[in-house]
Amino acid sequence: MKHINIFLSALLGLSTPAIVKAEIVDISTPNTSLILDAEKGGSLRLLHYGNKMASSDIATLKEAGAIDRNAYPVYGILPQGEAAMSVTHADGNMTTDVEVTGIDTTTAPDGAKVTTISMRDKVYPFNLNVNYRTYPAEDVIETWVDVTNNEKGTVRLNRFMSGYLPVRYGDVWLSQLYGSWANEGKLSQTPLNHGVRMIKNKDGVRNSHTSHAEIMLSLDGKPQENTGRTIGAALEYSGNYKLFIDTDDSNYHHFFAGINEENSAYNLKKGESFVTPPLALTYSEEGLSGVSRNFHRWGRNHRLHNGNKERRILLNSWEGVYFDIDEAGMAGMMKDIADMGGELFVMDDGWFGDKYPRDNDSTSLGDWVVDTDKLPNGIQGLIETAKSNGIKFGIWIEPEMTNTVSELYEKHPEYIIKAAKRPATQGRGGTQLVLDLANPKVQDIVFTVVDTLMRKYPEIDYIKWDANAPIMDHGSQYLTADNQSHLYIDYHQGFETVLNRIRKAHPDVTIQACASGGGRANWGVLPWFDEFWTSDNNDALQRIYMQWGTSYFFPAIAMGSHISASPNHQTFRRIPVKFRADVAMSGRLGLELQPKNMTDEEKAIVKNAIADYKKIRPIVQFGDIYRLVSPYDGKGVASMMYITPEKDDAVFYWWKTETFMNQQLPRVVMAGLDPDKTYTVTELNRIDNEPLSFEGKSFTGRYLMSNGLEIPLTHKVDYHKNTDYASRILRLTAK
């Protein structure tokens, strides 16, 4: 039997399945419950999702007014409502009507349970399984669906959502992310009114520039950061997705999430199966930040590659030199980052090309051969230079792409995505093309790019993997004419196949998911990537907004955040280096500039920032987030903090987002501390001529969470050093 598995997490180490005969199925984590009614011969019913339920309450749930709706509605019988799955059977019948046939449960060594409710069509030999997996330590439950066609002919899947969740109608608000290139991760919060709210992506390659496949639903009115019942949902998929909420004339908001089925109908031959990507659900009564903490822990522990390994502080060459790569310049940048205390240098675009040197963005992708005119001693020479400076070396690639001006394209024009009978649409630089990862030969090429680099230069520590083009034509030169609608899905199946091969061969190299900036900030790719590039826009003020939104679903350890030049290369805003550093230190710290253009004073400030970041790195990268004052609230300030799980160490961030004379800013009350612990305050990255009044003083967690600390609106520096920016980082250490 052929299995088409779309980004399904491997379920390893499970015990022998046991048949469960109970009709009521309780799928629980320590603080949440998902209750189903799975009576054999009937439809699968969802009774509850939310707070953890006592067995006595479960017994009377229906009498109390349970949800009691179809847990995975299929299309055809009473087709007026939205469905999670729509099928055209081999004989052309478009109706599906399934009944429960059994319940299997398995238990993993870590206590996670996988529950599978098996169903079949009442007429056709068509099987559908709804699956749930618990992550007890993180209060996350994944759900996904697999279907198998046992009919004599081909079954066409017209819609194939990963999951459906009815949410009781009320004062429910939706929090979602939107944006564009250089403006990713923007936060939108709106009430759910009648009608349909749609969030979708059709880029084909990258899926998180303009929207995100993750949402939060606040059930108690306008979203609050640390209070209120909140549901979080995250689709674990790297391709085109569709999330929508249909608020109809019933008492429910109907939430669906899965692969975007538009122009992607999938054909299953007899004996073939299709598996949807998982949809991760979590619930918290500690507001938006509570949901974020669940997702962050789950991501670090189970989804993010090497999610519990500290990330290095790096300098990336892109905004420092762009394509002007040469050996002396790289050596100089390596020495500079090493002198400032950095740990890694990454050489970006412009290092490759033989017949066609990569001097701009119009040539050479696919020709991953060192340009020896620029680098006479090759990559090994750069690795040796890095070692002599006591740092690691990394490199940029874009292996899914090629240019018309390249040796790869000249030899294999059949490897690109292109519609039959039409010329290929070309992207970046007027020549960029996307390779067809549905083709196993292309998969081999992409794997070989990474494998050759790592086998030839095993000391490469970091790879920046970029993807700078969408699918620009719907057409595969590999897929058959009757399966052209498989393109978007098979591309990402091929992508997964390549990544599995790479990680099996090279599990330790750090790989960043860059895709024209933040185009791949999603849980679908992160099992194979250690981090993502948050945005091509490094402007510190705008980064506060983008990183705030991104933090709703992704932990700081995964969020590349760099100190850029002034004026900024995207907004041309002039921001002092202290503020730039204070923003970058709330993510995975790095630099994106030419150090030789910095003043000695700027270098000293950055050197101090790097030293301070190393002290707090475990707190930032592995701690629990508490967002305090949102930049989107327009109060002139943004503030957040990270706290260790033991609540014995914390980092508090405060950024002023606007400056006016005689302005009044709110005093920020902290959160998440132990009220009975006493914390000593130390300012990091201090530039003031004298310390803050509370420097070195101690306060109880109870006081800090009730009153906070009075943060000065300006810095006490020499007159000529005054600017309109102010920011503070405080470390709170329990005695």
Distance CA 565, CA 203 (A): 31
Q: Is 91 helix (H, G, I), strand (E, B) or coil?
A: coil
User: Which residue out of 436, 536, 539, 624 is catalytically annotated?
Assistant: 536
Task: Give me the catalytic one of 37, 466, 530, 539.
Answer: 466
Closest CA to 365 of 416, 423, 325, 326: 416
Q: Tell me the C-alpha distance between 345 and 332, whole Å.
A: 11
Structural element, H or E, at residue 684: strand 678-684
Distance of alpha carbon 497 from alpha carbon 517, whole angstroms: 23
Both tokens of 397, joined, read 């690639």
Virtual torsion, Cα 296, 84, 243, 476, nearest 10 deg = 100
Has 466 been annotated as catalytic?
Answer: yes
Q: Which of 487, 462, 463 is nearest to 473 (CA)?
A: 487
- Burial letters 628-666, b for 16+ CB under 10 A, else e: bbbbeeebbbbbbbbbbeebbbbbbbbbbbeeeeeeebe
Pairing of strands 3-5, 273-275: parallel
Q: Which residues contact 662 (CB under 8 A, 6 or more apart)?
A: none
Q: Judging by beta carbons within 10 Å of its beta carbon (0-12, 13-18, 19+), is residue 735 exposed, middle or buried?
A: exposed
**Cα–Cα distances in angstroms (integers) from residue 49 to residues 8, 251, 284, 310, in the given order:** 22, 15, 11, 35
Please tell me whether residue 722 adopts helix, strand or coil conformation: coil
HSE, CB side, 13 Å, CA atoms: give it for residue 111: 9
Residue type at position 698? S
Question: Quick one: tokens of 569?
Answer: 């290369």
Rounded to whole angstroms, how far apart are CA atoms 445 and 707?
59
Query: 711 pairs with which residues across the strands?
Result: none
Q: Would residue 649 show up in a list of annotated catalytic residues for this protein? A: no
Identity of the residue numbered 249: D
Contact 520, 301 (CB under 8 A): no
Give the separation between CA 521 and CA 313, rounded to whole angstroms. 20
Catalytic residue IDs? 466, 536
